[in-house]
């Protein structure tokens, strides 16, 4: 057949329509409804974020209580405490194992560990606490009630319980000597902090200028992320069918090329298997992140850090359909809010080393994709389209940081760490989705402001 | 004009991706009749047509998230491919015998002139295509409307390339005869 005839028939029939048969709308609406959950996704990031916030607050409160207790004990002398029971150490053990079960055991576990032990291993104990909180972020977020208010209400009784059930031993130790201090703590929740601030720590004096003390710290940083494992895995080939079930090669017609692959299902395996109709390979560049944050000291070792970050992701996507190639350059910008707890492990006048753990909520604020079709070696015109990802991108991270104090106000730091990005079910291929586990190195300047 | 059509398509796809029921109605209003025309070229039985068309719509809706907008007409082209794939799937499952006949029922025919389609109204041409035997019709549709090469058709249907060529030739000749028979009738009527 001549090409003109082929075209003539095609043109003649191009606008041909015939009445569509009756369709079952229920079935179609059911299929459509399955597309909806993506819209609901933003709800759970909020829940998780709320859970993280509650956990951080709980951890902070817990830590404040313990440090308050410790202060009292140091002031009253350890000899008084030697034969007294302490629930605190036991609590820690429970926290590591099962946070949910901790509440019960807290009240049961009083009376086994001598107080002196508590003081000696306090440093280790606090180190362990933070990872525990980190591990618990997701389960708590999932298992608690959906509404943030309810979470907070749930958390509050727990905190109160810590205060009440966690303190009996404290009361038994301290009451004879520090009745007034303890009473004030029961009446007012803030005094422990205030009291701690007035306390002079022997170890602080030894450590010199390192402790964060009462400074508000601001920092700017730059970060570069490496994918977990073999980074080359960041570029790989995937079949477009990756989201499809076994009955869905139909997703393949998304190829923009008119010669896109048709193939048959079932019946004839050689036909279906011979040639994947659309081959897609994605090469992700390393994400680049810049940001600034403010660090707020909670104690001489603990601090909480929050801020704002900007992340730039770019990827080259190559799609191949029957020898025709399209190359897409995808650029995504994210703005995020990182929240971290930091714990100072060691330090002297110039240098300090700390551990950091927390989470980040990111929103894609700008995205575009430029595609060029290459047919028979000829490059077609580039067309650009905008990309949007509605769901928030959540991640958790842990890092070890080293900070060098240039002078009293300025320090530089490096923070190698690991982060895990949760799947936000976006259909846009991103570095975060393809490589959820990433190693990162944050480099930055930190400005220590006197409060 | 294309800009507006394209814009509309893109928005419609996004609304479908968001699960809007109204978007489903809009999609149906815009494309159902066209897609039915495509589907009917492959599937001739009305009941089968209804089933295949329904399944195609479900596939379109279920996988609308895979659709990437690539300019005006891309949504219709994408949906058309799903309809064609779904039709081929049906033929493969239910009309395997008719397709397999292609492999042995090969008749050498003299190459005739291309069918004179100029004066044939689209609905008449559609009817004539639908009257072709399943195997010939499938090859003809893939070659003419889906712009497939005989090599590709052979792969799709699991037949030899030569078989595809000769079957297409046969389909074309059959169609030409129908058209020739139609034209005098038309002239006679007029």
Rg (CA), chain A: 29
Mutation pick from B24, B52, B68 vs chain A, by most beta carbons of A within 10 Å, is: B68
End-to-end CA distance of chain B: 38
pLDDT at res. A5 = 85
Which of A18, A31, A254 lies nearest to residue B37, judging by beta carbons?
A18
User: Is the per-residue pLDDT at A289 higher than 80?
Assistant: yes
pLDDT at res. A143 = 35
**Tokens 């080359």 — which residue?**
A232
Cβ neighbours around B7 below 10 Å, total: 12
What is the predicted ipTM? 0.88
User: Is the per-residue pLDDT at A270 higher than 60?
Assistant: no
DSSP A87: S
Whether the Cβ atoms of residue A428 and residue A401 lie closer than 8 Å to each other: no
Cβ neighbours around A314 below 10 Å, total: 16
pLDDT at res. B58 = 93
pLDDT at res. A37 = 58
For the purposes of burial, counting CB atoms within 10 Å of the CB of B96, is it exposed (0-12), middle (13-18) or buried (19 or more)?
middle
Of B59, B16, B14, give the one whose Cα is nearest residue B35.
B59
Of A104, A73, A78, give the one whose Cα is nearest residue A171.
A73
Strand boundaries in chain B, DSSP class E? none
Question: Which has the higher per-residue pLDDT, B143 or A158?
Answer: B143
Helices and strands per DSSP (H, E), number in chain B? 9, 0
Q: Give the integer Cα–Cα distance in Å for A411 and A448.
A: 8
pLDDT at res. A46 = 63
Across the strands, what pairs with B116?
none
pLDDT at res. A358 = 93
User: Is the per-residue pLDDT at A393 higher than 50?
Assistant: yes
A 25-64 residues with CB below 8 A of B? Answer: 25, 27-29, 31-36, 38-39
Question: Which has the higher per-residue pLDDT, A112 or A215?
Answer: A215
Residues in chain B where the model's pLDDT stays below 50: 1-4, 6, 189-190
pLDDT at res. B52 = 94
Cβ neighbours around A231 below 10 Å, total: 15
pLDDT at res. B59 = 93
Which of A17, A248, A322 lies nearest to residue B33, judging by beta carbons?
A17
Give the model confidence (pLDDT) of A43-83 as tens digits: 566 666 666 666 666 666 665 655 555 544 444 444 444 44
pLDDT at res. B159 = 81
Whether the Cβ atoms of residue A227 and residue A234 lie closer than 8 Å to each other: yes
Whether the Cβ atoms of residue B91 and residue B133 lie closer than 8 Å to each other: no
Give the model confidence (pLDDT) of A329-352 as tens digits: 999 999 999 999 988 888 888 898
Helices A148-166, A99-108: crossing angle, 10 deg rounding: 30
Give the model confidence (pLDDT) of A291-327 as tens digits: 888 888 888 788 888 889 899 999 998 877 666 788 8
Question: Which has the higher per-residue pLDDT, A373 or A211?
Answer: A373
Mean of all residue pLDDT scores within chain A: 63
pLDDT at res. A287 = 83
Q: Which residues of B touch A322 (CB under 8 A)?
A: 152
Q: Of A152-156, A384-388, A394-398, B179-183, which one has max mean pLDDT?
A: A394-398
B 52-91 residues with CB below 8 A of A? Answer: 53-54, 57-71, 74, 77-78, 80-82, 84-86, 88-89
pLDDT at res. B57 = 94
DSSP A376: T
A 294-323 residues with CB below 8 A of B? Answer: 322
pTM of the model: 0.40
pLDDT at res. B49 = 94
Which of B66, B144, B156 lies nearest to residue A6, judging by beta carbons?
B144
Mean pLDDT for the stretch of residues A224-246: 40
Whether chain A has a CB inside 8 Å of the CB on B119: the answer is: no
Give buried/exposed letters for B19-35 (b at 16+ CB in 10 A, else e).
Answer: bbeebbebbbebbbebb
Q: Give the integer Cα–Cα distance in Å for A183 and A186.
A: 5
Which of the residue ranges A361-375, A387-401, B103-117 would you say has the lowest mean pLDDT?
B103-117
What are phi and psi for residue B54, nearest 5 degrees? -60, -45
DSSP A409: S
pLDDT at res. B2 = 42
Q: Which residues of A touch B170 (CB under 8 A)?
A: none
pLDDT at res. A225 = 60
pLDDT at res. A235 = 38
């Amino acid at each position: 057949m001549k090409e003109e005839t082929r075209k003539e028939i095609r043109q003649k029939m191009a606008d041909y329509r015939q009445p569509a048969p009756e369709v079952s709308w229920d079935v179609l609406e059911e299929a459509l409804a399955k597309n909806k959950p993506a819209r609901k996704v933003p709800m759970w990031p909020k829940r998780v974020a709320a859970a993280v916030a509650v956990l951080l607050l709980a951890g902070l409160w817990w830590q404040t209580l313990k440090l308050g207790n410790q202060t009292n004990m140091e002031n009253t002398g350890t000899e008084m405490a030697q034969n007294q029971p302490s629930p605190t150490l036991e609590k820690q053990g429970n926290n590591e194992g099962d946070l949910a079960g901790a509440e019960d055991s807290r009240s049961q576990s009083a009376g086994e560990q001598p107080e002196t032990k508590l003081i000696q291993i306090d440093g280790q104990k606090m180190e362990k606490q933070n990872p525990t909180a980190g591990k618990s972020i997701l389960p708590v977020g999932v298992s608690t009630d959906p509404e943030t208010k309810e979470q907070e209400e749930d958390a509050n009784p727990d905190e109160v319980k810590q205060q009440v059930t966690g303190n009996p031993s404290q009361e038994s130790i301290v009451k004879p000597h520090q009745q007034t201090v303890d009473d004030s703590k029961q009446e007012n929740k803030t005094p422990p902090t205030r009291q701690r601030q007035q306390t002079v720590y022997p170890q602080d004096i030894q450590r010199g200028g390192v402790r964060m003390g009462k400074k508000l710290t601001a920092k700017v940083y730059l970060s570069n992320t490496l994918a977990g494992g073999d980074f080359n895995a960041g570029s790989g080939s995937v079949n477009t069918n990756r989201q499809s079930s076994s009955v869905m090669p139909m997703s393949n017609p998304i190829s923009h090329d008119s010669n896109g692959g048709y193939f048959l299902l079932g019946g004839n395996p050689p036909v279906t298997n011979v040639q994947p109709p659309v081959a897609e390979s994605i090469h992700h560049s390393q994400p680049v992140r810049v940001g600034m944050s403010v660090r707020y000291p909670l104690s001489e070792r603990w601090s909480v850090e929050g801020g704002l970050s900007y992340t730039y992701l770019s990827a080259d996507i190559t799609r191949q359909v029957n020898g025709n190639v399209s190359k897409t350059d995808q650029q995504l910008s994210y703005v995020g809010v990182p929240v971290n707890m930091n714990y100072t492990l060691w330090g002297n006048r110039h240098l300090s080393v700390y551990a950091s753990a927390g989470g980040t909520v990111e929103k894609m604020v700008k995205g575009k994709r430029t595609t060029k079709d290459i047919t028979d070696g000829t490059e077609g015109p580039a067309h650009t389209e905008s990309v949007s990802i509605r769901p928030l991108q959540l991640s958790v991270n842990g890092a070890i940081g080293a900070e060098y104090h240039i002078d009293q106000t300025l320090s530089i730091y490096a923070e190698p760490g690991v982060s895990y990005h949760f799947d936000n079910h976006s259909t846009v291929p991103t570095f975060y989705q393809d490589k959820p586990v990433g190693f990162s190195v944050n480099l930055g300047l930190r400005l220590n402001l006197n409060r | 004009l294309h800009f507006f059509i394209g814009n509309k398509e893109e928005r419609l796809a996004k609304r479908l991706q968001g699960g809007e029921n109204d978007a489903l109605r809009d999609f149906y209003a815009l494309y159902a009749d066209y897609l039915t025309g495509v589907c009917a070229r492959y599937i001739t039985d009305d009941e089968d047509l209804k089933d295949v068309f329904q399944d195609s719509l479900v596939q379109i809706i279920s996988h609308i998230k895979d659709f990437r907008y690539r300019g005006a007409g891309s949504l219709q082209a994408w949906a058309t491919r799903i309809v064609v794939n779904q039709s081929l799937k049906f033929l493969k499952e239910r009309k395997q015998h008719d397709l397999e006949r292609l492999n042995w029922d090969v008749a050498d025919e003299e190459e005739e002139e291309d069918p004179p389609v100029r004066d044939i109204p689209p609905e008449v041409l559609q009817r004539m295509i639908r009257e072709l035997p399943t195997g010939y019709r499938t090859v003809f549709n893939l070659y003419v409307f889906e712009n497939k090469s005989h090599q590709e058709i052979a792969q799709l249907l699991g037949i030899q390339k030569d078989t595809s060529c000769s079957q297409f030739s046969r389909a074309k000749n059959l169609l030409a005869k129908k058209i020739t028979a139609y034209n005098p009738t038309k002239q006679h009527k007029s």
